[in-house]
Structure 1
Amino acid sequence: MNDFNQSAAEALARMAAIEHRSVVRRSESTALTPGQLAERSIIPYLDGANRPLVDSFRDLRTRLLSISNENFVTLVVPVSNGCGGSFVARNLALSVTFDQSKTALLIDCNLRHPTQHTAMKIDTARGGLINYLEDPEAEVDGMLYATGIPRLKLIPAGRSTYGDMEAEHFASFRMRLLLDSLRSSYSDRYIFLDSPPALGAPDARMLSELADVVILVAGYGRNTPADIAAAAGNFDPRKFAGVVFNENA
């Protein structure tokens, strides 16, 4: 009987935790106006004038969701600097939240040139990804930031306490454990990694080992076919979902 009571108590505790998460999500509200969204290079998705652009991200999201019935990690990689990879990562993560049964987490993995916290006007006083990877005592919850958009969270890049951005943090066990934990804690959480450029450094290739899907972002009129082919060659063809041509560089 004691075993039964303990099992029942554990089940009730799990149900309470699930309900708490549900209440938290229902209580979220968008504080950002269409103008504030635009200032953050986020497409004002409630504005009918932006419908074609919004629909292009919805279509890309739908194609990604058709790949798997489970949540997954998507790496968004610009071919080179200035392609607008961060813009695509930000708005693709947003598009997942249009479905109220899903949440999205955007992680700025461009440790040398982070932009997401600046674009989204978020004070990152608590640190971010690099601080978590360098500090064994750091907690995951401490680096999750609200964005002002329901069901969308951000982990900013943070700032190294050692001033060393060359360290191979992405190959560390702690990085792999982090992504596994973030994905498993919510079955409806889709993770988007905003990557450094594919050309010029090995970071994107290392991150691709941790991702389930890779999307390459080419600047329209900026990258040559040879550049795009060279960048695509860095990734496992089984993970490579395709190329997005972006004009919003």
Structure 2
Amino acid sequence: MALLLHQARFFTTVNHLRDLPATARPEIAFAGRSNAGKSTAINLLCNQKRLAFASKTPGRTQHINYFAVGTADDPAGYLVDLPGYGYAEVPEASKQHWEVLLSQYLKTRAQLRGLILMMDARRPLTELDRRMIEWFAPTGRPIHALLTKCDKLTRQECVLALRTAKKGFDEYKQQGFEGELSAQLFSALKRVGLDEAHAVIENWIVPPADTSAADEAAERPAR
């Protein structure tokens, strides 16, 4: 089913909750701090170079971008690229807009099946990362963290980063958060963790019981 992601194409962009598309297909959201490598990861997962764009001014993009996966006439689902957060130079009004847009989308979007949370492996679980978790985890839907740029760490540092993320997630579970919380190492440069991330996203878009439908969608030629 990885072919579904490889067929990804731009669908729409929205700047207000009222403009969210009236689709019934599953949505997988991608969130992360500015410069965490979110756009690069999406491009790699979809086997494309310029599907998702990083803003030339980090933190300035305040739009939600939708990418359809699967065939053009019958998408299996959507990847939803959320605005990056945490950049110091962003005006206060933009920060407030970001907070309302992201929090309400994460809390209320019925089509949302899971959250891919990008965290720089050198700085996992920042205050803003935790805010994203605390907005979304009460929905009971899964969160999977990609600890990006792990190629910049030694093997021992990678082990420590992954342990830190999982320990933080265990603390949320102890607090009563019901959704699945998982984490992995990821490097777009070295292609570390690509298969694992693919598997998570694929199972969210089309659960294993529905893989036959996914295979049919992947085999249909794009129009």
- The higher radius of gyration belongs to 1
More strand by share: 2
- Structure 2-normalised TM-score? 0.42
